[in-house]
């Protein structure tokens, strides 16, 4: 009755290692953590798998980094909108009664755009109102990479690596909205809500690192490695805490839009990639599809079995605007985002890949990416996993 089964080759390998007295004597908790990391075979070193447990715009908010102040909360913003479309103070007061649930407000907000004097949907036509000039970040620190190789006066410094010349205009554009602000490990509220709302439907993102070699004390040896980031065929399963459950098995979706493989080097437990193009399908409610050019990735392989890092590069800014514009007034009223304001900010601060008019189509950015242990199975791999060559403890087929 039993049929072919997969097995944890890595687990067997680690078990053998743990049984050696030398390993037991010095591995300590780090060894326990490394055992918890699902592993599979690799030609050099091991393969470690993860499921992405957090991916979003990297924030590093500090007091004073928005010298013009933070962008207003929704109630103030909506009052301004109503005033700008010609409502008297008394009318504004009347409309704001019961905010944000006053049904009379939404149509006014949604149709506040004007083209040739006609009302239009502001989210579909974000340039149909004047630039509201949202406040932007003037601070010193932001996560990311020096993408253009230059160190300019207004560039950021990465707070983790101290790399200068960091290009992260996306953070500059959004970082003065209340709901985008946080100091790690805290998560900004808007991305956190967006992430949480999409987890149960969106197929998970998964990471594999090939070529990891651990020392006896659990630290990672320096050397070459390859990182894969893919979309899985199913979503994460949540544990009791509402977080993704670790050690689950994920099958990689063969959709060519979500296949990313990049080489790099591990140094002091941190993987740093070569440049690559990162393309991933996301959730329509968030960003339908990422296409990060000239991307760089750094991933810290932590002793507790998780990974955390930064993915940076140049991302076309229009899909990012869609993330704000698509939900329409819901975002503006509930999350205090000024959709056309963001449109203008992204457009102005875009810093790469100009079109024929000279308008830059992409904006430098940085995303935080975190992963917890998981088994990641590529479509062609089950037979390889169970082969005698790669799996000396090969599973028997009944």
Residues of the shown chain interacting with another protein in the complex, contacts defined by CB under 8 A: 1-3, 5-9, 11-12, 15-16, 18, 24-25, 28-29, 31-32, 35-36, 38, 40, 233-234, 237, 239-241, 243, 245-249, 251, 373, 375, 377, 382, 385, 393, 395-396, 398
User: Residue 150 Cβ, how far from another protein at the closest point, in Å?
Assistant: 45
Q: Cβ–Cβ contacts within 10 Å for residue 239, how many? A: 12
For residues 266 and 223, the answer to whether their CB atoms sit within 8 Å is yes
DSSP helix, strand, coil percent of the chain (3-state; round to 5): 25, 30, 45
* Alpha-carbon span 217 to 28, nearest angstrom: 8
| Smallest distance from another protein to CB 302, Å | 17
| Closer residue to another protein (CB): 89 or 392 | 392
Residue 120 Cβ, how far from another protein at the closest point, in Å?
A: 43
CA distance 287 to 204: 14
Minimum distance from residue 119 beta carbon to another protein (Å):
46
| CB-nearer residue toward another protein: 141 or 250 | 250
Q: Are 205 and 230 in contact (CB under 8 A)?
A: yes
Per-residue DSSP letter, 162: -
Residues 6+ apart with CB under 8 A from 142: 58, 60, 156, 157, 158, 159, 166, 168, 171, 172, 175, 366
CB closer to another protein out of 49 and 327: 49
β-bridge pairing 360-377 and 352-354: antiparallel
- Toward another protein, which CB reaches closer, 41 or 194? 41
Give how far Cα 375 sits from Cα of 35, 135, 232, 390, Å: 13, 43, 11, 16
Residue number, 151 or 237, with CB nearest to another protein: 237
Q: Least CB distance from residue 228 to another protein, whole Å?
A: 16
Q: Which is nearer to another protein, 135 or 378 (CB)?
A: 378
Least distance CB 224 / another protein (angstroms): 24
Q: Which is nearer to another protein, 127 or 237 (CB)?
A: 237
- The full DSSP string for 24-73 is HHHHHHHHHHHHHS-EE--SSSEEEEEEEEEEEE-----TTS-TT-PPPP
Q: Which residue's structure tokens are 């700008």?
A: 84
Q: C-beta of 243: minimal distance to another protein in Å? A: 7
How far apart (Å, rounded) are the C-alpha atoms in residues 333 and 106?
Answer: 9
Helix axes 339-349, 317-325, angle to 10 degrees: 170
Q: Which is nearer to another protein, 16 or 83 (CB)?
A: 16
Shortest CB 133 distance to another protein, Å: 45
């Amino acid at each position: 009755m039993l049929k072919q089964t997969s097995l944890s080759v890595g687990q067997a390998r680690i078990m053998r290692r743990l049984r050696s007295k030398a390993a037991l004597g010095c591995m300590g908790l780090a060894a326990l953590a490394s055992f918890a990391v699902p592993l599979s075979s690799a030609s050099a070193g091991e393969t470690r798998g993860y499921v992405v447990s957090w991916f979003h715009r990297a924030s590093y908010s500090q007091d004073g980094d928005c010298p013009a102040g933070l962008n207003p909360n929704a109630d103030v913003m909506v009052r301004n909108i109503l005033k700008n479309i010609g409502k008297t103070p008394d009318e504004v007061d009347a409309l704001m009664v019961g905010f944000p649930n006053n049904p009379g407000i939404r149509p006014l907000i949604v149709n506040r755009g004007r083209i040739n004097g006609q009302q239009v949907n502001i989210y579909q036509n974000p340039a149909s109102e004047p630039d509201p000039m949202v406040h932007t970040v003037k601070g010193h620190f932001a996560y990311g990479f020096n993408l253009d190789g230059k160190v300019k006066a207004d560039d950021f410094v990465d707070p983790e690596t101290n790399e200068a010349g960091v290009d992260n205009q996306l953070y500059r554009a959004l970082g003065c909205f209340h709901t985008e602000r946080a100091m790690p490990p805290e998560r900004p509220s808007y991305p956190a809500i967006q992430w949480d709302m999409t987890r149960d439907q969106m197929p998970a993102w998964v990471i594999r690192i090939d070529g990891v070699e651990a020392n006896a004390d659990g630290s990672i040896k320096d050397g070459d490695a390859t990182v894969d980031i893919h979309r899985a065929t199913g979503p994460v399963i949540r544990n009791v805490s509402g977080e993704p459950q670790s050690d689950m098995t994920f099958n990689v979706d063969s959709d060519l839009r979500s296949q990313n493989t990049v080489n790099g080097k591990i140094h002091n437990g941190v993987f740093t990639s070569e440049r690559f193009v990162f393309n991933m399908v996301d959730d329509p409610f968030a960003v339908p599809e990422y296409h990060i050019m000239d991307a760089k990735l750094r991933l810290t392989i932590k002793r507790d079995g998780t990974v955390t890092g930064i993915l940076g590069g140049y991302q076309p800014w229009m899909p990012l605007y869609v993330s704000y514009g698509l939900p329409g007034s819901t975002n503006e009223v509930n999350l205090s985002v000024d959709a056309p304001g963001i449109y203008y900010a992204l457009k102005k601060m875009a810093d790469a890949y100009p079109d024929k008019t000279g308008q830059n189509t992409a904006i430098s950015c940085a995303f935080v990416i975190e992963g917890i242990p998981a088994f990641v199975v590529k479509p062609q791999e089950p037979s390889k996993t169970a082969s005698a060559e790669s799996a000396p403890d090969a599973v028997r087929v009944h």
